Amino acid sequence: MVRVGVIGVGYWGPNLVRNLAGTDGVELVAVADRDEKKTAAVVRRFPTIRPLVEGADIIADTSVDAVVIVTSAESHYAIARQALEAGKHVLVEKPLTLDPDEGARLVELAAKRKRTLMVGHTFEYNPAVRRLREITGREDFGKILYIYSTRVNLGIFRPGINAMWNLAPHDVSIVNYITGESPMAVRAVGESFIKPGIEDVVFLYFEYPSGVAAHVHVSWLDPSKVRRVTAVGEKKMAVYDDLDSEQRLKIYDRGLESTLFEEGGITDYQVKLRAGDILSPKIANTEPLRLECAHFIDCVR
């Protein structure tokens, strides 16, 4: 059994608690939150879990093998560092840290201590995203030309970090996962409309080594909720709409084909539209967090 403690059971933490409780080989030992009402709610549902207050209380427990950090982004670095220094395996919610140097330091520390350090990039465990990767990787999809992702809504405004740090880790992880690459160039532009210095809307542009271009639009100042990723290939196109429970993934057998022609000494391209079937494959209903927790425990083992 891997003995696990969860730090932070605000909005998202209880989902990790529920999934860890249902993961084979996990003994959920304790949860910690500075808000005792939050830990009390967890214990009502899982009476064998010990409620604690400070994350440090879980880290100090020598019987705990692994720590899951679900606190606000600003606190991830300090808590994760403390946990790794105490020899714990760590699963930390996205974003790993708000400073790339701090992220690199954690990776180094985990390697030195021979401990697992994993970031909760939930969408890598999402069956629709996994299917999207499989389909866009096939020869009949053609080379991926570009991908764009939209993650917007009205709220939830977070006072400490901007919309990019809060939302875009999902999109970046999805695009990296689909392409199997990391971007070599990144541009990001944002605007702060609600509170100075906190960008509510951010547009990001990525260039990948293979030539794939990606665009991400995140915002918590938008009239309606959109969670959509579009991938355009040389032969087919795909749309993953997380809010469409009936047809979460659609594959369009569509494209533009150009052929070079010469007539009367003039050379030009003739562009033909190809509009074929739209296919919506069946997507398994497995909860991504369940797969993520199982993967973490596997890595720890």
Stretch that binds ligand NAD, among 29-37, 132-140, 144-152, 260-268 (CB under 6 A): 29-37
Quick one: 285 exposed, middle or buried, by C-beta within 10 A (0-12, 13-18, 19+)? exposed
Rounded to an integer, what distance in angstroms lies between the CA atom of residue 52 and that of residue 39? 7
Q: Which of 41, 46, 75, 142 binds ligand NAD (CB under 6 A)?
A: 75
Q: Which of 32, 198, 231, 293 binds ligand NAD (CB under 6 A)?
A: 32
- Nearer to ligand NAD among residue 11 and residue 193 (C-beta): 11
Q: Using the rule CB under 6 A, is 153 a contact of ligand NAD?
A: no
Taking residue 301's Cβ as centre, other Cβ atoms within 10 Å add up to 9
Q: Which of 17, 29, 49, 73 binds ligand NAD (CB under 6 A)?
A: 73
- Nearer to ligand NAD among residue 217 and residue 236 (C-beta): 217
Q: How far is the CB of 115 from ligand NAD (least distance, A)?
A: 20
Q: Using the rule CB under 6 A, is 72 a contact of ligand NAD?
A: yes
Q: Which of 2, 5, 23, 55 binds ligand NAD (CB under 6 A)?
A: 55
Q: Which amino acid is at 290?
A: R
Q: Using the rule CB under 6 A, is 199 a contact of ligand NAD?
A: no
**In this structure, what is the dihedral angle of CA atoms 75, 93, 191, 241, given to the nearest 10 degrees?**
-170
3-class SS letters over 135-189: HHCCHHHCCEEEEEEEEEEECCCCCCCCHHHHHHHHHHHHHHHHHCCCCCEEEEE
Quick one: 26 exposed, middle or buried, by C-beta within 10 A (0-12, 13-18, 19+)? buried
Of residues 96-135, which lie at the interface with ligand NAD (CB under 6 A)? 120, 122
Q: Using the rule CB under 6 A, is 255 a contact of ligand NAD?
A: no
Tell me, by CB under 6 A, how many residues bind ligand NAD: 24
3-class SS letters over 64-86: CCEEEECCCHHHHHHHHHHHHHC
Q: Using the rule CB under 6 A, is 45 a contact of ligand NAD?
A: no
- Return the residue nearest ligand NAD (CB atom): 10
Stretch that binds ligand NAD, among 73-81, 104-112, 142-150, 251-259 (CB under 6 A): 73-81
Q: Using the rule CB under 6 A, is 10 a contact of ligand NAD?
A: yes
- Nearer to ligand NAD among residue 119 and residue 135 (C-beta): 119
CA distances from 104 to 79, 98, 107, 245, 261 (A): 15, 11, 5, 37, 53
Q: Using the rule CB under 6 A, is 11 a contact of ligand NAD?
A: yes
The answer to whether the Cα torsion of 213, 205, 157, 170 is positive or negative is positive
CA distances from 56 to 103, 108, 229, 270 (A): 20, 21, 39, 66
Q: Using the rule CB under 6 A, is 160 a contact of ligand NAD?
A: no
- Nearer to ligand NAD among residue 54 and residue 268 (C-beta): 54
Alpha helices per DSSP H over the chain: 13-21, 36-45, 55-60, 76-85, 100-113, 127-136, 163-179, 288-300
Stretch that binds ligand NAD, among 9-17, 104-112, 183-191, 269-277 (CB under 6 A): 9-17
Q: Using the rule CB under 6 A, is 17 a contact of ligand NAD?
A: no
Q: Using the rule CB under 6 A, is 7 a contact of ligand NAD?
A: yes
Residues that bind ligand NAD (CB under 6 A): 7-8, 10-13, 32-35, 38, 54-55, 70-73, 75, 79, 93-94, 120, 122, 166
